[in-house]
Amino acid sequence: MISGSFSLLMLDQMPPSLLRADAFLSPLEIEAAVTRALEEDLGGAGDITSIATVPEDTEGRAVLAARKSGVIAGLPLVETAFRRLSPDIGIVPHARDGAAIQAGTKLMTISGNARAILGAERVALNYLGHLSGIATATATFVERIAHTKARVVCTRKTTPGLRALEKYAVRCGGGFNHRFGLDDAILIKDNHVAVAGGIKAVLTRAVQTAGHLVKIEIEVDSLDQLQEVLDVGLADVVMIDNFDLAAMRKAVALVAGRLVIEASGGITLESAAAIAETGVDYLSSGALTHSAQNLDVGLDIEM
């Protein structure tokens, strides 16, 4: 439990208006993430610095602002963090998740108990900076391939415990989500093929087991493997892994629209446009979540 006299934020007080309109993030996920982070930061004794230096009934006002330009994600977690420590705290939002902002843009004004503001500050900034960094990286990626039909998707290369938040941030940046976990789609990798005894064997077993709403994707690392997948005819999506551009173009011609094609393997911002121009449908990049740089955001007290 979070120590001190702070009250719990009820789930029906969650701030849905700050979410990007076309990207759902469960209120339960927001509450759980903020609770974990606050309990980690406040520990067993609470914010002993603020307790020692700030009188209990002191009121304060703070402005949350971006120090660099980018795309914002995580404002619902910011509001939840402050309300978790003081349910009646005043929150005035000036932006919404998914907004492209410039350096110096005010994002939120917070007013109320000064101890609560100081106690939640780091958790709020950690989430906002991290998720906005992912959204910003994704938006840059999306811009690079906007002249093509391709979409950029994230992967399962996420921070343990933060997958739903990070995948939401990708959506805030204009990207799309790949599967959320091992349980919502079948993705047959090279090791699955090896264990099962080949492409035909692994696809046959997958189709016999999968429900009618479960998509089946299979990874290939050569044009010969791709042809075998097409000959078997049981897959919905093919992942062409670490193909060079010439091989990608041949793969697109070979598939001829019969399967959805996902390009994967070390895709970077620099290589994205050329890959998208080959005609593939999706580019999957783990870098969107595991290598995005934090967006610099700050909170300044205005007493």
**What was the pLDDT predicted at 261?**
98
Of 47, 79, 121, 241, which residue is the catalytic one? 241
Assess whether 167 carries a catalytic annotation.
no
Of 36, 67, 189, 258, which residue is the catalytic one? 189
Task: Return the structure tokens found at 81.
Answer: 């963090």
Of 106, 122, 151, 179, which residue is the catalytic one? 122
Of 157, 200, 205, 215, which residue is the catalytic one? 157
Which helix H or strand E contains 194, and what residues bound it? helix 190-196
**What was the pLDDT predicted at 57?**
94
**234 phi/psi in degrees, rounded to 5:** -110, -5
**What was the pLDDT predicted at 14?**
47
Assess whether 157 carries a catalytic annotation.
yes
Q: Quote the CA–CA distance of 165 and 33 in Å, as a whole number.
A: 9
**217-255 pLDDT, tens digit each:** 999 999 999 999 999 999 999 999 999 999 999 999 999
**What was the pLDDT predicted at 17?**
80
Query: Pairing mode, if any, of strands 237-241 and 216-220?
Result: parallel
Q: Quote the CA–CA distance of 170 and 157 in Å, as a whole number.
A: 13
CA distances from 53 to 3, 22, 35, 89 (A): 18, 43, 25, 20
**What was the pLDDT predicted at 15?**
52
Strand partners, 61: 111
- Number of C-beta neighbours around residue 81 at 10 A: 30
Assess whether 40 carries a catalytic annotation.
no
Assess whether 122 carries a catalytic annotation.
yes
Assess whether 244 carries a catalytic annotation.
no
- The pTM score is 0.92
List per-block mean pLDDT (blocks of 10 residues) for the chain, which spans 303 residues: 41 64 91 97 95 96 98 97 96 96 97 97 98 98 98 96 97 96 94 96 95 94 97 97 97 97 94 97 96 97 85
Q: Quote the CA–CA distance of 116 and 272 in Å, as a whole number.
A: 44
